[in-house]
Structure 1
Amino acid sequence: SHHLDGVAKSKEEQPGTGKPKAKSNSNITKARTTGPKAWMLELVEEGFFNKPKSSANIIEELETRSHHLQASDLTWPLESLCHDKKLRRKKIAPEKGGKEVLHWSNWG
């Protein structure tokens, strides 16, 4: 038990290292910058959704950035971005006619 106490004290004696804090910060940053929602947020910030886009358009654009997703991978992130008032969702009929398809565009 003395050995463990010594280990705990030695960590407390080094408050200036900042190592645990730096590690937690990098984990937070990593969580924000990876995954479908983060990638779509990048598209929002870059103006990709200035014109309405279908899920096929979104998948195609993400593929150019080496993010290979299926339509089902977009469901939650798109819904979440709508709840966050980043995107709007609207059914739009294709130019050539046919069934209306959901499209997403900037909220504002």
Structure 2
Amino acid sequence: MVPQLAASTFIFNLLDFPTGVIPVARVDPTEDAVTSEWLATGPSAGTMVERRLFHGATPLYDAKAMSGLPVGVQIVGHRWEDEKVIAMMRIADDALGKRSFGPGSYTP
């Protein structure tokens, strides 16, 4: 994993917030490629992270190189509210419905 991408997740460990991750999809290079239209209307090039992720000669996000990798959503709660995080994960999982993957189903 690219260290810059971990910046949005490790802070919750430092703050001792309970978290959980739900698998949502897999990277599909035809659907998830960054287009010039998205770059023009999507995130600004104002922050260092956004510039490194999406802009320049060698951006960190490359849908072709990441093809098939899992995509998830992270649920974060306040300290000592682990049960609420688990309940919210169940609600989100039910809302997402059946997906064609799960634990142990990844094949590179």
Shorter-chain-normalised TM-score: which range? Answer: under 0.3
TM-score between both structures, scaled by the size of structure 2? 0.21
Higher helix proportion? 1
TM-score between both structures, scaled by the size of structure 1? 0.21
Larger Rg: 1
Larger relative contact order (Cα-Cα within 8 Å, sequence gap ≥ 6) = 2
